[in-house]
Chains A and B, each alone.
Chain A
Amino acid sequence: MANKVRKDAAEALDGLLFDGMTIMAGGFGLCGIPENLIAAIRAHGVKDLTVISNNCGIDGFGLGVLLENRQIKKMISSYVGENKLFEQLYLSGELELEFNPQGTLAERIRAGGAGIPAFFTKTGVGTLVAEGKEVREFDGELYVMERGLTADLSIIKADVGDTAGNLVFRKTARNFNPMMATAGAKTVVEVERLVAPGDLDKDHIHTPGIYVDAIFEGATFEKRIERVTTRPRAVEGAGAGEEV
């Protein structure tokens, strides 16, 4: 059996990076992002990247560090409102941007990984998103055709993985990671804990190892929080909370 285990992010990416490539990066905001792999891509300096990711990090963290280093040519995302540099680069024409509705983006990736070249969805009918795309009526309702998405490389963050590449995600850090793991020609995964086969409950594996080409235990996980929001201890039940 091929050995998928690597010692760190640089070794896991060895030979996989080239200028002009397309990379899918898991995460929603800063939650569940492959921060060790992003740092290694920044250190490598590969450029003219097309990056498929729901967001583009924030200034100074997450995919924001690849923007700062001018490594990204084009983003395919659903929401980029957290990032001032993104705005500057976009308005100055240095960065291309393709917006996808979030569910359409998720389904395009799922379809890409499942060998489905296109599908029809109600989302975006009659909006800018549908311009230039085939619209077809099914059972009296209009649907727009969207294409499946694949990438040269997917970079994934999971909570726990075993040496066979089986993955378990944690809470809302799962988000886009499972679909992206299926849609990369190569898929590289960083985990907080790497365990031996048999240590994971086989009925509770989220992503089977077939999708994973390389896996390593991340050196550090900063796991920044974008909006720390808490409630006072005195109050019971749901609260509007305070943003700190």
Chain B
Amino acid sequence: MAWTRDKMAARAARELQDGFYVNLGIGIPTLVANYIPAGVEVTLQSENGMLGMGPFPYEGEEDADLINAGKQTITELDSSSYFSSADSFAMIRGGHIDLSILGAMQVAANGDLANWMVPGKMVKGMGGAMDLVAGVKRVVIVMEHSEKSGAPKLVKACNLPLTGQGVVDLVITDLGVFEVDRGRSPLRLVELAEGVTLDEVRAKTEASFEAAVA
């Protein structure tokens, strides 16, 4: 029994610390907002120009001028602020955001990340992902451990075009949690999902790793 998408999001939410400014990517990372631990207050940044993202609006209260980076309608909080895209990426690139939680296609043991392009298929674009991984203090990846085809996503070296080199700090998959540490130290498995064995993780992981689990 591996972790569900919601379990992965809940595990990622444990990376949040009180007072953090956080940017959440599209997909599973968006779900992290539902699992912010009690007693922890974080400010969510939306790279299209907002700090202090509120919950989704009630039906009938949507505002076309108020969306998140996934183009979904959202709401504001009393503490919210709005700014331009240049200001938004100045705070991202300038190292003012504490944590970014993103999805991925591949992560390598050296901390390289690929999450924007599959050659030969239609390319949608990198959006803000390259800026986020280049500038945010800590980058946590939440992804399925394997492709639908069974191909491993935690690899020796990415063969997809990179989003950033040596940028990943932590990877949370449906099978467990890995410390990547931007490739400065060897890849380490630090948690197993309930019901998942070390043998299963070894069989499904291309990158070699140290096991720091019981």
Contact = CB atoms under 8 A, between A and B. Distances in A.
Given A28-B67, A87-B122, A175-B84, A229 B89 contact: no
Contacts of B49: 28, 172, 174-175
B130 interface: yes
B73 A225 contact: yes
B89 A103 contact: yes
Interface of A: 28-32, 54, 77-82, 87, 90-91, 97, 99, 101-107, 109-110, 121-129, 159, 169-179, 206, 223-231, 233, 237-241, 243
Given A102-B89, A229-B56, A240-B31, A224 B64 contact: yes
A238 B125 contact: no
Interface string B152-166: 000000000111110
B162 A126 contact: yes
A96 to B, nearest CB: 13
A26 to B, nearest CB: 10
Nearest to B165: A126
A215 B46 CA distance: 29
B115 to A, nearest CB: 11
Contact of B131 (A87, A102, A231, A240): A102
B92 A103 contact: yes
A225 B67 contact: yes
Nearest to B58: A233
Interface string B33-70: 11010000000001111100011111101111111111
Interface of B: 30-31, 33-34, 36, 46-50, 54-59, 61-74, 76, 82-86, 88-90, 92-93, 117, 122-131, 134-135, 161-165
Contacts of A237: 55
Contacts of B63: 171
B84 A31 contact: no
A224 B89 CA distance: 26
B56 to A, nearest CB: 4
Contacts of B62: 225, 228-230
A171 B128 contact: no
Contacts of B89: 102-104, 106-107
Contacts of B164: 125-127
A177 B68 CA distance: 16
B124 A81 contact: yes
A243 B26 CA distance: 14
A171 B82 contact: yes
Contacts of A110: 86
B86 A179 contact: yes
Nearest first, the 6 A-B pairs at minimum CB distance are A103-B89, A81-B124, A103-B131, A126-B165, A241-B56, A79-B125
B56 A230 contact: yes
Nearest to B117: A128
Given A28-B69, A103-B135, A226-B71, 17 more contacts: A28-B67, A79-B124, A103-B92, A106-B84, A106-B89, A110-B86, A127-B130, A172-B82, A173-B64, A174-B83, A177-B84, A179-B84, A223-B64, A226-B67, A227-B72, A229-B72, A240-B33
Nearest to B128: A102
A123 B71 CA distance: 23
A87 B124 CA distance: 9
A237 B55 CA distance: 7
A90 B123 CA distance: 10
Contacts of B65: 31-32, 159, 170-173, 223
